[in-house]
Structure 1
Amino acid sequence: MAAGWFYLSCVALGAMGSLCVLFTTYWMRHWRGGFAWDGSLLTFNWHPVLMVAGMVVLYGAASLVYRLPQSWLGPKLPWKLLHAALHLLAFILTVLGLVAVFYFHNTGKIANLYSLHSWLGITAVFLFACQWCLGFSVFLLPWASAWLRALLKPIHVFFGASILSLAMASVISGINEKLFFSLKNGTQSYKELPSEAVFANCTGMLVVAFGLLVLYILLASSWKRPEPGNLTDRQPLLHDRA
């Protein structure tokens, strides 16, 4: 039963994550004019797509690598490499998203990092960079002792969930900010909920649902990777698959 719920949750995550990216892309293409890389407003449109894809969807997927029962058996190194590679790809997309918004702001002589949205976002990215470097140097490279890894693992796990939470908050505040800026001079204001506002709000709710499901799977004790030597005591997923 546990395995069934776990894999059903994974399918739901895959569907919601794909929809998060597709909805954000459709919003930028249908209502905001599409994409370019020339410093115009169309350059900005890459920002929400890349940040949702990198900081939320791919980051969330990378965080769940060790929840897969297949990672509990056999060598751990391939799963460490997959975990690090997915996070690195997420970070690359995130950096490209930041480049897009800074390029647009600098071209249009717009101030950078003045809103709460930008403060949340840049904090999440900074912590993400620190988290990846810490994980790579301590958990992937062979120099760190077992006691050091045991000491830093709870911190690594805590900041992993915290970064995703900050990313979600940044996305939600960014959607709100974008709607206020885009609709304030339109034929319908934000408070009248034109179709763009409804669609963007639904996208935000989908991002929240995705992030909360990731956090639930991360925190569910029966779905955590067992500690070494306890594999036979805490493996309901493996038992259900047998």
Structure 2
Amino acid sequence: MGKGTFDEIGSSRVTLKWFSLMVLSSQVVGVIAIILLAVLFGQYRGGFSWTSDVEKEFNYHPLFMTLGMIFFYGDAILAYRVFRDVKKLRVKILHGSLLALSLIFASIGLKAVFDNHNLSTPPKDNLYSLHSWVGLTAVVLFGAQWVCGFVSFLFPKLSEQIRKAYMPSHKFWGKAIFTLAVGAVLMGITEYSIFKKIYGSDEIKYQRNLINFFGGFVIIFAGIILYLVGNPGYQRPPDNEIEHVPLAD
């Protein structure tokens, strides 16, 4: 994580250790959340399948949406904070790759839920709940944000004047979309629990506990990401700041 703004002040070692601890904590918390969700749907809610069993195909939806729009998106946001001394082009490639991976997982997750609705007998309605509206909005905005960031800051790269004008909006929407995605995931797992009557049955309270712990870990993960990104002391060195702007900071 090297040198930069926050390790050039008085308590440099303490600050660096705190930063490293927070980054490590975010990864541990994020992985635990993914494991809890995989155990819930893989062990207790029927497992996973593709179109041969649309009920099991649905189980890919919450898992892949969480992987894409929460975990990999959060890590992509952190890339410019963690790899502070790595050449900016390499960080841009890593950052853009993580975001592309996020979009791929989210797209598969959306396909899973649309297949579940459209291939059921009889077919189910699509996009009828607030969760679906918020979730789809987050994915569409995410895709637009990625394209705008790629064109503006990576290739073909717009003029410095345009990039400077676009930068504040880019930073705002990056964090706003991430927050929107967190809200959609929490609404979705709650909606699923209500529809499947998980909250109303003491016989499967272990599933209820898995869901509640999952939601708690997602909130903690998102809180750490937003704290690290929002703390000005953890930014990259200020030299040529316009070139260091992440695609979803």
| TM-score between the two structures when normalised by the length of structure 1 | 0.88
Distance (whole Å) between structure 1 residues aligned to residue 102 and residue 176 of structure 2:
16
Distance (whole Å) between structure 2 residues aligned to residue 175 and residue 222 of structure 1:
35
Are the aligned partners of 2:37 and 2:210 in contact in 1 as well (CA < 8 Å)? no
Change (3 A) 1:66 1:42: same
Distance (whole Å) between structure 1 residues aligned to residue 217 and residue 87 of structure 2:
36
Aligned position for 1:172: 186
Distance (whole Å) between structure 1 residues aligned to residue 154 and residue 131 of structure 2:
33
What percentage of aligned pairs have identical amino acids?
A: 36
Secondary structure at the aligned position of 1:183 is classed as: coil
Aligned position for 1:21: 34
Are the aligned partners of 1:179 and 1:190 in contact in 2 as well (CA < 8 Å)? no
Aligned position for 1:215: 226
Aligned position for 2:107: 95
The answer as to 2:236 corresponding to 1:225 is: yes
Secondary structure at the aligned position of 2:30 is classed as: helix
What are the residue-to-residue correspondences of 1:1-242 with 2, within 5 Å? 1-38=14-51, 39-68=53-82, 70-71=83-84, 73=85, 75-108=87-120, 109-183=123-197, 189=200, 194-228=205-239
Unaligned runs of 5+ in 1: 231-242
Secondary structure at the aligned position of 1:64 is classed as: helix
Deviations 1:20-63 (A, max 9, x none): 11111001012211000025210000000001111000000001
RMSD (CA atoms) = 1.8
Distance (whole Å) between structure 1 residues aligned to residue 216 and residue 131 of structure 2:
17
Secondary structure at the aligned position of 2:196 is classed as: helix
Distance (whole Å) between structure 2 residues aligned to residue 197 and residue 114 of structure 1:
24
Deviations 1:118-166 (A, max 9, x none): 0110010011000000011000014411111111111111111111101
Distance (whole Å) between structure 2 residues aligned to residue 80 and residue 120 of structure 1:
28
Structure 1's consecutive aligned runs of 4 or more residues displaced over 6 angstroms after TM superposition are: none
Are the aligned partners of 2:152 and 2:163 in contact in 1 as well (CA < 8 Å)? yes
Deviations 1:154-186 (A, max 9, x none): 1111111111101110011011100011117xx
Matched AA of 1:120: V
Matched AA of 1:34: G
Secondary structure at the aligned position of 1:162 is classed as: helix
Matched AA of 1:170: A
Are the aligned partners of 1:121 and 1:167 in contact in 2 as well (CA < 8 Å)? yes
| TM-score between the two structures when normalised by the length of structure 2 | 0.86
Are the aligned partners of 2:72 and 2:98 in contact in 1 as well (CA < 8 Å)? yes
Matched AA of 2:161: W
Aligned position for 2:3: none
Task: Give the total of aligned pairs.
Answer: 225
Shift in Å, 1:75: 3.2
Unaligned runs of 5+ in 2: 1-13, 242-249
Matched AA of 1:154: P
- Greater relative CO (CA pairs within 8 A, separation 6+): 2
Structure 1 range deviating more: 213-222 or 140-149: 140-149
Structure 1 range deviating more: 188-197 or 210-219: 188-197
